[in-house]
Structure 1
Amino acid sequence: MVMLSVPPHVDEATARGAAMGVEEEFLLLAPDSGLPVARAAAVLDRASSVAAHAPDATLHAELLGTQVEAATGRCTSLADLRTQLLDGRRRLAGAARAEGALLVSCGAPVLGDHPQATAQGERFALIARTYAGIVADYQACGCHVHVGVPDRDTAVAVVNHLRRWLPTLLALSANSPFERGRDTGYASWRTIVQQRFPGGGVPPHCRSAEAYGSLVARLVDCGVLVDERMTFWMARPSAHLPTVELRAADAVGTVTDAVLQAALSRALVRTALAELAAGREAPALDDQILAAGVWNAARYGIGGPGVHPVRERPVPATSLLDELLAWVTPALEDSGDLVDVRDAVTEVVTGGTGTDHQRRAARDGPLAVVHLLAQRTQLADHIGVP
């Protein structure tokens, strides 16, 4: 059993799962063609000179020169998180326009089939050498949520509790149906592209931080990971922060969608912490059934069939979403987020995921999809406003 205690260097909000942060990855696309453009360095340089309304938010390069990232600081409320997300998008979108590009939040490019230059830096170069052709045009983008935990043993135990819910978080975020201008038939093509890398998907059940660290070290030693920071699992203990990092979601279209992922992720972590405090460890679940759940979520999104990880049978993905919401309702009530989350979930279920919005826009051609994505990326919507 994991004993929950607060080390002296970790503040209480982090230790009890109240603190969170979000990293959003974006694409830079040409307005006239919709093709990815490698202007990340210029966009980041210009954006860094723009006054930040949220000083804790930071901007970063990503693997390829067609991608940029905005990371919030540590937040304890959805309102603060929303402010920081909007600020990162505002600064990057304005800089992108000034450099003749569109900032787009999407799991994978709608158009484009040419290899892209890797961003500068020794680590990026090592990644390119290690994975070769896999990363030559790897422009997948995600929405990553960090939630605070007291220590690494607790982080590993929390990840064990998260495993069953990761396909549902993916299904709710699906926002990448296209590749090279064609509809792949998948709600999240990003997830399929990521499966080219070694490992990935739902993380393995690990009994301790020591066991987790040993597994990652062996994978590095085997040459399939460049270092301990580069695991491909959909949730993992952070390598450098006192957090659990949830990486299931596609880069989502709107700030509402990003805040929804953060609110659900925080509620799942807080529920896991409560379970562990009560002495309840995560149940062992079949890895192949969980993999089937990920595939179904990637294929169909939230509007199709899913796989129940405990009953090991097909069920509607919305039923799995209902189970998730019931599971985290006490945590959402405690944080005051329940009404906002229910409203946002209803909006996705009735109005469609990002993939559904893209497919509707595609009736007017792929360039219409690109411009819709750019518009949604900068849309200031309502969740988290007091």
Structure 2
Amino acid sequence: MVITLPAPGPGATDDLSGLTVGVEEEFLLVDPDTGYPVPAAADVLADLRVGPWTGQAEFFPTQVETATGVCTELACLGDELTGARRAVREAAVAHGVLPMASGVPVVDGPPPPRSDKARFAAIHERFTAVLEDYQACGCHVHVGVPDPDTAAAVVNHLAPWLPTLLALSVNSPVRSGRDRRHESLRLLDQARFPGAGLPPYFASGADHDEQIARLVDCGVIVDNRMTFWLARRSAHLPTVEVRVADTVQHPWEAVLQAALTRALVRVALDELDRGREGPRLDPQLGAASLWSAARHGIGAAIDPVAGVATTARARIDALLRLTAPALRETGDWAFTRAAVDRLLTKGTGASRQRAALRRGTLIAEVTGVGITGSG
């Protein structure tokens, strides 16, 4: 089964009630032969071809991040994601490295050098050993929700579905050249930070900001830009930001995350219009459901609202039932259904990594960044 990116068509609508979408993707820069991370970000970013997308540095100089522009259709988003990946690959190849689309490095290299930026230095001092080799890469989806109170209420509705979004994106089972039998090692790495995981319940936009300020005052985060919640109101954009997904191997997988996230936001807005607030999750069940997704991917799962063991397939089916009307409204249903079916029948990025590890082609698998084949 081959998945193609969406194209504009008669099913799409122009009026999405302000629900714009954009995606940020993080990539490692690695040696083409060994797969070791290489601190080449400054050179790659200096030569990055400019487009609707932008590029920026990450915590370590072994990583780069791209961000699409603001899109209203998945066709636009898919074009920009593909273009950004091509531009990163072109600039990387010119400096003797390749971009790697994996949630964590698949092989060990020398410890990455620290960034010389003041904010990054302060973060490194705060977290010390936790950050010594934290070269994790994620896929972040932004959906336009400018009102602070509404954005906080939307996050409450999103929280139960974050483990399911993770399960569809898992792409980091290998570290040090070995299969570690977890689908998302990136999520486990991130769990070491204070306040990581599913967001707490927010009574309002002010409550959202107060909870962040409390963490800053307690000295466990540096500023309001670095909360480790997997969904939040963006600190610098008028958006809800969902940061649960691993960096995925193919652009269509990132588009799928965007399609489902935007549809969940639309559902949340509709529920709020009806006076229905999001559920208050039991923190332990919420953490357990996220851990289960990181461990099992599209296998076993936990329903964090009902508090029962289930399967990822059941949670995915429930997610599709919930979001189908919103996806049909925007013309995104056919693509989303086909993309989910592809993952359920052919496997996630984690299963592709394992297969490539057995074949001895792992580095090639994760450095193609989804633009050298059909996926």
CA distance in structure 1 between the aligned counterparts of 2:271 and 2:18, rounded to whole angstroms = 13
* Partner of residue 373 from structure 1, selected from 351, 359, 366: 366
Letter in 2 for 1:30: D
Which structure 2 segments of 5+ residues have no match? 1-13
How far apart are 1:201 and its partner, in Å? 0.6
How far apart are 1:214 and its partner, in Å? 1.0
1:202 is paired with a residue whose SS is coil
Residue deviations 1:274-322, cap 9 Å, x none?
11111111122211111110000000101x1100122211111110000
CA-atom RMSD in angstroms: 1.5
2:72 is paired with a residue whose SS is coil
Q: Tell whether 2:158 aligns with 1:165.
A: no
Q: Tell whether 2:201 aligns with 1:201.
A: no
CA distance in structure 2 between the aligned counterparts of 1:57 and 1:350, rounded to whole angstroms = 32
2:25 is paired with a residue whose SS is strand
Match of 1:6 in 2: none
Q: Tell whether 2:300 aligns with 1:305.
A: yes
Q: Tell whether 2:357 aligns with 1:362.
A: yes
Letter in 1 for 2:359: D
Residue deviations 1:179-213, cap 9 Å, x none?
11111110000000001111111000111111111
How far apart are 1:380 and its partner, in Å? 6.3
What percentage of aligned pairs have identical amino acids? 51
Q: 1:115-154 counterparts in 2 under 5 A?
A: 115-154=111-150
Q: Is the 8 A contact 2:212 2:224 kept in 1?
A: yes
Q: Is the 8 A contact 1:106 1:253 kept in 2?
A: yes
CA distance in structure 1 between the aligned counterparts of 2:279 and 2:98, rounded to whole angstroms = 45
Match of 1:43 in 2: 44
CA distance in structure 1 between the aligned counterparts of 2:279 and 2:189, rounded to whole angstroms = 29
CA distance in structure 2 between the aligned counterparts of 1:21 and 1:212, rounded to whole angstroms = 22
Q: 1:158-237 counterparts in 2 under 5 A?
A: 158-237=154-233
Residue deviations 1:84-136, cap 9 Å, x none?
11111111101111111111111001001532112332211111111112111
Match of 1:109 in 2: 105
Q: Tell whether 2:57 aligns with 1:61.
A: yes
Residue deviations 1:126-165, cap 9 Å, x none?
1111111211111000000000013111110000000100
Match of 1:92 in 2: 88
Query: TM-score when scaled to structure 1?
Result: 0.91
CA distance in structure 1 between the aligned counterparts of 2:328 and 2:370, rounded to whole angstroms = 29
Match of 1:31 in 2: 32
Q: Tell whether 2:75 aligns with 1:74.
A: no
Q: How many residues align?
A: 362
1:320 is paired with a residue whose SS is helix
* Partner of residue 346 from structure 1, selected from 318, 321, 341: 341
2:345 is paired with a residue whose SS is helix
1:59 is paired with a residue whose SS is strand
Q: Is the 8 A contact 2:85 2:369 kept in 1?
A: no
How far apart are 1:263 and its partner, in Å? 0.4
1:103 is paired with a residue whose SS is strand
Residue deviations 1:305-352, cap 9 Å, x none?
100122211111110000011111111011000000000000111110
Query: TM-score when scaled to structure 2?
Result: 0.94
How far apart are 1:13 and its partner, in Å? 6.8
Letter in 2 for 1:46: D
CA distance in structure 1 between the aligned counterparts of 2:374 and 2:262, rounded to whole angstroms = 20
Q: Tell whether 2:313 aligns with 1:318.
A: yes
Match of 1:296 in 2: 292
Which structure 1 segments of 5+ residues have no match? 1-11
Decide whether aligned partners of structure 1 residues 113 and 101 sit closer, same or farther in structure 2, where only a CA change above 3 A counts.
Answer: closer
Letter in 2 for 1:273: L
Letter in 1 for 2:19: A
